[in-house]
Amino acid sequence: MDFRFWVLGFCFWVCFFFSCSGSVNSKGEEGDGFLSGMVLIDGKSAIGGIDEDFVCATLDWWPLEKCDYGTCSWGQASLLNLDLGSNILLNAIKEFNPLKLRLGGTLQDKLIYDTEDHKQPCISFKRNTKELFGFTQGCLPLDRWDKLNDFFKKGGAKIIFGLNALNGRKFASDGSAVGAWNYTNAESFIRYTVKKNYTIHGWEFGNELCGSGVGTRISAEQYASDTIVFQKMVQSIYNGVQTKPLTIAPGGFFDENWFKEFVDKTTPTLDAVTHHIYNLGAGVDNHLVERILNPSYLNGMVDTFYKLHEVLRNSQSSAKAWVGEAGGAYSSGHNLVSNAFVSSFWYLDQLGMAATFDTKTYCRQTLIGGNYGLLNTTTFEPNPDYYSALLWHRLMGRNVLSTSFNGTKKIRAYAHCSKQSKGITLLLLNLDGNTTVHAKFAFNRTSGLHYKHRSYKNKQKVVRTSRPYGREGEAFREEYHITAKDGNLHSQTVLLNGKILSVNSSGNIPSLQPKQVNSSEPIMVAPFSIVFVHIPNIVLPACGNVWN
């Protein structure tokens, strides 16, 4: 359905609902710090679908010398020197079971693989401000690649590897990269990977070379031509191999005209079209928190998601949209912002928004490294966004439900059919630091709760669900309330239902336990808090195909 017509239809039923049932008290009592509102969910059909392993994170090549605005925040987080013996790191990956990991970033397009065709010494990246991206060419030793794959296998990770798309090209006077891609080194590297029986979930071609590019750029026509070569090469190498990898491109910032030309001219069997997001501004900017807490600013990304969705929908391509890299604030993020509690408002809102536009995978920059890592660069301990990502991964299922909130613009609301269980899961983000919101929920053209088999006019079956009960038989739901320690938005310590989350002495990730709440009670969303709500006793037509 055309998105514009869907919006008009959704607005119509919302207006119809309130004209019939009365308006919601959206103001509350003067000065009491409380407000009532309504979560509105259209349960007839899903508006989008995400991968089972929608949550993804990146690992980068940046060395210790990578600095931004005088701050060097990468430490030993490079794929070339990351401590693969860390229990916390391994356990953090294992908890997702599985976690998609995208290996790449700016320096991937200056990375050479130390295969038999590479006749020069294998030297790491060195700082040189006169070179493209500020570093010399670097090299990946095969023994390091072996160790990385052993580690990823232990963690159960699904690997997307970003290939060097600049190899063999020359640079024109306008700074663009011209000429065809030299795939010889990439081909020998992929052949080595297959020979070693390493499982790669996907090969991605290039990083931030589309549109106006970052540092340099490639025309859409040339990129499409090279992508066809890239895909044919991968298909040839994997001929006869049971597990086939995805082919993915172009891994850069969305430019509508460039992406349309690229998609139209490349192979229609490309698996995923990736774009990057750093919509908050530079890491050095002092207004990042204001933007994160501004609903209008957050809504600014709707246009990008919608336009890419339309480019793909109107093309002959079967490719799906992915966010291949997103860190909020570019140039390594901002300490105590993009690695602190406040970042989760932006991050979870991005996950929710991307999902509504049928984005299949969303890769966070980074798992570790810079000031936007899910893990602390030095200690490897989880930052708040790690727990936000893990709860999303465990609770939010593949089917996305049309959701809105009536009562205040400061509540961001998303809903999915639940993951690995019946019912639905709501995500509520309270961007208001002074108001507790009492949220109820309503459904369009469904009675909301169904306990017996019955048919709708569209013949969709709704199945009986099991319900958790209290001592006297009341139906209960599960709630996960996430808050910052001492209410400090810049805190790197997060509380779940009032209890601090931290790894133990063995490096184990803490269990994430919900609290049970009577389903008849409104959802209490505290100021500056995040709430996941699993409601197992609600069965919707949109979710029936998951559990019938």
- For the chain, give percent helix, strand, coil, nearest 5: 25, 25, 45
Q: Is the dihedral of CA 414, 493, 283, 205 positive or negative?
A: negative
- Pairing state between β 396-406 and 361-364: unpaired
| Cβ-based neighbour number of residue 347 at 10 Å | 26
DSSP 301: G
Does an H or E element contain 479, and which?
Answer: strand 476-484
Question: What DSSP line would sit under 51-115, residue for residue?
Answer: -TT-EEEEE----TT--BTTB---TT-STTT--TT-HHHHHHHHTTSS-EEEE--GGGGGEEE-S
Catalytic residue among 325, 381, 478, 479: 325
Query: Based on the number of CB atoms within 10 Å of its own CB, is 458 exposed (0-12), middle (13-18) or buried (19 or more)?
Result: exposed
Q: In whole angstroms, give the CA distance from residue 199 to residue 158.
A: 8
325 an active-site residue? Answer: yes
Catalytic residue among 204, 208, 381, 478: 208
DSSP 340: S
208 an active-site residue? Answer: yes
Q: Which residues of 99-129 are buried (b: 16+ CB within 10 A; e: fewer)?
A: bbbbbbbbbbbbbbbbbeebeeeeebbeeee
Tell me how far CA of residue 113 lies from CA of 83, 107, 201, in angstroms. Answer: 21, 13, 19
Q: In whole angstroms, give the CA distance from residue 163 to residue 462.
A: 46
Which residues share a beta bridge with 443?
A: 41
Helix, strand or coil, per DSSP, at residue 527 = coil
Q: In whole angstroms, give the CA distance from residue 256 to residue 261.
A: 9
Cβ 463 vs Cβ 480: under 8 Å = no
Residue whose pair of structure tokens reads 């017996």 in the numeric block: 452
Tell me how far CA of residue 276 lies from CA of 69, 106, 477, in angstroms. Answer: 22, 12, 36
Cβ 89 vs Cβ 380: under 8 Å = yes
Q: Which long-range contacts (CB under 8 A, 24 or more apart) does 285-288 make?
A: 285/329, 285/334, 288/328, 288/329, 288/334, 288/337, 288/338
Catalytic residues: 208, 325
